Structure 1
């Protein structure tokens, strides 16, 4: 059994994928997830608009990578399928794109069919694994992706669930080390230094109700920038969600407490 495997969902504990599903307006969650999501959002009213802005950032980043010639994506911390999943955005721009999704929640696996609907010219796959298990992820992903060619590594709102003691920076760099030059890291992360009191309180409420493996830690802009060490950070740098290459109709909102960035491996 994988040492990082998560037991079957238990209604006594909230889980990130299911809490996120509540914030996105989905129906695939338990009462404990609903409670955690609602109480956290009450403590920090920016959570729901942040989740939606985070989804929009993912779409803009994937479209940029596809326009830059990236045709492979490794999306870790997939969550329960929603609108505009990575493969939908990527294959709309480049039908031949290949996407591998990774998550450790069995409820996500139960929805994998929705993630595996690929354009006939492309391909999608799903791996049940924990973000900490770098070797397993890359071994399984290599069945679908050619790791000798550039990959878009998607770590979107996932690294907060890996504690400092587990060294999420090392995990990120071990993933990148095995990817080809020209690969990109797409990253977003809850901020500890934007609307800090509200973020701290909402995280406390969530962590009290979450399983021990799924507690969350917000980080500062400098701590988030460490994930990009050794990479070429694309403009506009490490910014709040709506500041990353917004479209003409996008509304800027610097109160949303999440940092994001896209960076290239040279």
Structure 2
């Protein structure tokens, strides 16, 4: 078995006592979290609660001031960037580029962790890039320039580039931010169908209901963890999000959604 191959019993990604601060102000404090292989874990919380900072710490983009992150039960701090990139990919809120590149060029960048002098670009890489473009329904726009794309199309390209890395874990920071409702639903449907462990930071609590579990952040701390119905209680909605809320059953299909009102 590969040293970085997850076992049946280890977490895909985990942290203990995780903390990060800027100029003495804690942005994340004492977070303990275990992400199960294959699950979709949503991270929710009000603005400034530490969602984005937590994702960057888990991805190794920020170095924690306290605690530890473990990737497939290996300390993240002891892994090389190339090793991390073969296992974990990140889609940030804003990842624009000023380079005049095509859609395919942008997705090909996802293969960088797998290339070396001994492993140059090959037909296998071409096939992986083509598959990633197909997965996000962007194959027909492969030759389009980046600057000609809509916001939703760019977000699909970001995800395709991440898929081209062939990660086992995908971290997404509010991937539907600034998209219209049709694009939001399309992106979330795409993400849910991906065969990877997924961590996704979301603002919209109704969109978060489709996650397997939710981690609720407040003032940099993890204050609740469980299924959406377990953690999004009226008391939690009041205390953390500052709203009144309750669940309603959809008469069309029986699914549940949140009805939210200001306090």
Tell me which interval the TM-score lies in, with the shorter structure as reference length.
under 0.3
Normalized per residue, the structure richer in strand is 2
TM-score by length of 2: 0.27
* Greater Rg over alpha carbons, structure: 2
More helix by share: 1
* Greater RCO, CA 8 A, separation 6+: 2
